[in-house]
């Protein structure tokens, strides 16, 4: 986990032409959805999708006026996000995931558990990061992102100077960015990028990376 030490970043939103020019490489869909899952996508997802027009005041899209907003980038099937939302009912959560099959799994979980403090962003997360206000998020989770193992694909990795700049703009001073990976090369990549980033301070020694899960970690299939 790293703590945001940013004090005075300019509150400038990146040019949206630049955002639109960034190609999304992630997989959008696996197996065709079953009828029930497709119905959830058609009927339930629109009611839970974060309203980008309210990005200037993200809490306005929730049923509670919480003091904190947490964001998970790439929530997979939603186990971690749902677990965090249950454990922190007074926090508002946004979960970003572009993989349709994962979104469908999450919708089923939300339907069964009646969790109300989660909104979803079923698209590339970068436009969302550029739309939310500066210092509006207390925690960001990036857990087991696609490692893009081939060298020619490393530029597709989420951890990059530009994306870390986006994240640093969003996280409140003293807030946290938690990154996890089980891919050795990506781990080295993350360490190299975070060590040279001036906006975050590691809460551990870079020479002895933590291997045990934090106490508030929600186990998932990964």
* Alpha carbon distance 136, 173 (integer Å): 10
Q: pLDDT for 23-67, tens place per residue?
A: 755 555 567 888 989 999 999 999 999 999 999 999 999 999 999
**Could you tell me which residue, 94 or 207, shows the higher pLDDT?**
94
Within 10 angstroms of residue 38's Cβ, the number of other Cβ atoms is 13
DSSP symbols for 83-109: HHHHH-TTEEEEEE---HHHHHHHHHH
Distance of CA 125 to the CA centre of its chain: 7
pLDDT tens per residue, range 76-135: 889 999 999 999 999 999 999 999 999 999 999 999 999 999 999 999 999 999 999 999
Neighbours of 74 (CB within 10 A): 19
- Closest-CA residue to 121 (of 152, 93, 84): 93
In the predicted model, is pLDDT for residue 17 greater than 70? no
- H or E stretch including 177? strand 171-180
Angstrom distance (rounded) from CA 75 to CA 79: 8
146 a catalytic residue:
yes
Third-level CATH fold of 2-7+14-52+67-202: Rossmann fold (3.40.50)
- Between CA 17 and CA 35 the distance in angstroms is 37
Mean pLDDT score, 130-158: 94
Annotated catalytic residue within 146, 182, 192, 205: 146
């Amino acid at each position: 986990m790293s703590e945001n030490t940013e004090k005075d970043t300019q509150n400038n939103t990146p040019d949206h032409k630049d955002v639109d020019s960034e190609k999304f490489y992630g997989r959008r869909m696996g197996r065709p959805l079953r009828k029930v899952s497709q119905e959830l996508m058609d009927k339930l997802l629109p009611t839970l999708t974060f309203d980008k027009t309210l990005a200037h005041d993200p809490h306005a899209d929730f049923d509670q006026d919480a003091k904190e907003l947490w964001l998970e980038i790439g929530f997979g099937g939603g186990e971690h996000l749902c677990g965090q939302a249950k454990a922190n009912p007074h926090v508002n959560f946004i979960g970003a995931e572009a993989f349709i099959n994962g979104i469908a799994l999450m919708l089923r979980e939300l339907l069964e558990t009646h969790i109300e403090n989660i909104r979803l962003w079923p698209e590339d997360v970068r436009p969302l990061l550029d739309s939310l206000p500066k210092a509006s998020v207390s925690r960001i989770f990036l857990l087991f992102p696609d490692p893009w193992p081939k060298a020619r694909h490393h530029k597709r990795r989420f951890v990059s100077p530009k994306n870390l700049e986006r994240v640093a703009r969003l996280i409140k001073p003293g807030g946290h960015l938690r990154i996890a990976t089980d891919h050795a090369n990506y781990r080295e990549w993350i360490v190299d990028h975070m060590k040279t980033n001036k906006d975050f301070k590691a809460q551990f020694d870079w020479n002895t990376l933590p291997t045990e899960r934090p106490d508030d970690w929600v186990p998932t299939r990964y």
